[in-house]
Structure 1
């Protein structure tokens, strides 16, 4: 949207983020166009007409502005401002950012990954800084000891035994690949039938999966594991291929975006399959309050999809081990690795309860100054 409104500057990103933007932005623009057209055909939008926030063309026009900066190499986005990306784990290209300006060092954690993540490398240790802004998505929670393979296996065993269809809302980046990797492992170990059909119904997720072979330094997987992950599902790209899945019978597993069931192709699959007790909806992690995923996790029925009430009779399973976010202990451990205490920590990017819980732990356990800034407030660095 900035480029559409006349921005001609450079956008700095890591190589992984640049390549992901080349996939995600055009596809998300296309999805918005599709969703707007669907809403206009069926008349369920409060807008007349419904319009996309941005289009595929808008997205393509902005990609040339993105310039890749290597991890660990300092660059100047503005004269006198020094910036350095360091790996944050979490997803391909994820980075923390150290900004040095006016004699101050300001560290933005970005989304931090888990040191024990099965896909991604652990975050690098944080550099020294005067001010830290740290995310708090899981600031009040700990991950279970059980890993994703152990948690997912029994659910898919039940599904296969009763011949049902599992609809799995996934984020196209990270969560989809984690599920594919887990499914490949479950099949190779004989935990679930090798012939259980699995479909990845998201062009963004399909193309992101292929990126893993192009960025081997960003993740833990070997070449063989990357290949097995890519073979774990039939890749669905076109709307016609997606619609054709409705003609199949279970057992089968459909992974489709979006991860909190707020939009995308997964809504069509939920509308088709959620009403049958033989089927299953697998939620792959945290669901933000107010989202359709959160309502499914809470056991609500019916849920509203495309302007219609859909009864939910399918088994709803919420995985607790699939998150790629560092939990509260892991966030604190990351901070402990800093060389010296910062002057101030701002706890951001989390629900208020999670942010405040992490703030309290930073103050009590690390003895550092910490606060949760209000939205729109201004504070000194």
Structure 2
């Protein structure tokens, strides 16, 4: 057996892991690189393995950094299936179609306004490429074993990160290999918490927050503070929002605050076609979240859902006070940039960051205190007040990662740490070795690891 990390090693984006065993090549996740230009350029590089050499793709969840390279893989010759949970398939469809559309639009805008360094900007892939990927999906129920052949079987278990997110457990030649994907919180806002696993000979675990503990705070009150402060200034609050999970969590909390009569009387918009569609998916999977019928009804009455372009333009140009949730969550593209174009230079307005911001993204620049950010081909002065709530994270922190690990009955033979910036992975490695006494290593990009 051999593991090769083609992404998500030394970084939190581009997750791709090749597992080779018994003449099978299995790809665990197939994500896009995001953030720093040097990482984004990797999306244009040829993979060291041909698409038609891969037998099966396994998807832990639908987020772009785990699924966004799939249309390229298919375009380059992959003809096999993409195995995942039912909810992951539905969310991945929304995310991939949206990704293709955004890339088409960004290439068109770059060509129209002449801010591309190339003779002609072209999208990494387009909406048609995303559509061609959808027929490859095949879904499986959680907590059931499924055979690949006589020597390999697998099952999906709930990881509590987003709707449909899973751990993947393989039994191969009498050995158990576990891939964590992204691990959720011990007490999620709207999802059931992650499941525990008792046995693994080899483990691959994420380390996004391997070096820190999340804030212990009343998250409703933390959300209310920037709302009230911005309202008192006479401004608009923009919340760059990840369309899957984070948008639904915030809408839920806003609906609770509204029921408690704590919100100012201003309109609230979710201006994100992907966010609107993802919200509908959440509501369709009633057994996969903890929301009651009353919760759902309250959410739908609290927020105006905006999908079409004309309504979006109207909300953007409207100068009245409002709260706007818009993608993308790291400000890498999407409708949120149109709001910032109008609002970021005015100090009475505010921007609330509620999720992880990868190195090299505009969201990270805001958190770092930069004086300006570049989008639409020009630089924009940051005068709006910047707020952040770290407690919203959908990733387990160090203590929650250790909580999950402590439920293994015995140490794996080897634990691979991936999906983290170097200092995050190193901190988790040190903690695992000191507290648990486990043998572990930090995964390196394109290194080959042979398993006994």
User: What TM-score, normalized to structure 2?
Assistant: 0.82
Q: Is the 8 A contact 1:12 1:77 kept in 2?
A: no
Q: Which residue of 263, 271, 281 maps to 2:351?
A: 281
CA distance in 2, matches of 1:293, 1:251: 23
Correspondence 1:1-381 to 2 at 5 A = 1-77=72-148, 80-193=151-264, 195-381=265-451
Q: Is the 8 A contact 2:243 2:328 kept in 1?
A: yes
Q: Is the 8 A contact 2:159 2:182 kept in 1?
A: yes
Q: Is the 8 A contact 2:237 2:352 kept in 1?
A: yes
CA distance in 2, matches of 1:99, 1:50: 42
CA distance in 2, matches of 1:80, 1:97: 16
Measured at CA, do residues 304 and 367 of structure 1 come closer, stay the same or move farther in structure 2, by a change above 3 Å?
same
Stretches of structure 2 lacking an aligned partner (at least 5 in a row) = 1-71
CA distance in 2, matches of 1:260, 1:359: 27
How much has 1:188 moved relative to structure 2?
1.2
How much has 1:76 moved relative to structure 2?
2.9
CA distance in 1, matches of 2:370, 2:212: 24
Q: Is the 8 A contact 1:162 1:251 kept in 2?
A: no
SS in structure 2 of the partner of residue 32 of structure 1: helix
CA distance in 1, matches of 2:169, 2:183: 14
List structure 1 segments (4+ residues) > 4 angstroms apart after TM superposition: none
CA distance in 2, matches of 1:214, 1:46: 44
CA distance in 1, matches of 2:365, 2:132: 37
Measured at CA, do residues 62 and 162 of structure 1 come closer, stay the same or move farther in structure 2, by a change above 3 Å?
same
Moved more, 324-333 or 76-85: 76-85
Number of corresponding residues = 380
Stretches of structure 1 lacking an aligned partner (at least 5 in a row) = none
Moved more, 12-21 or 239-248: 239-248
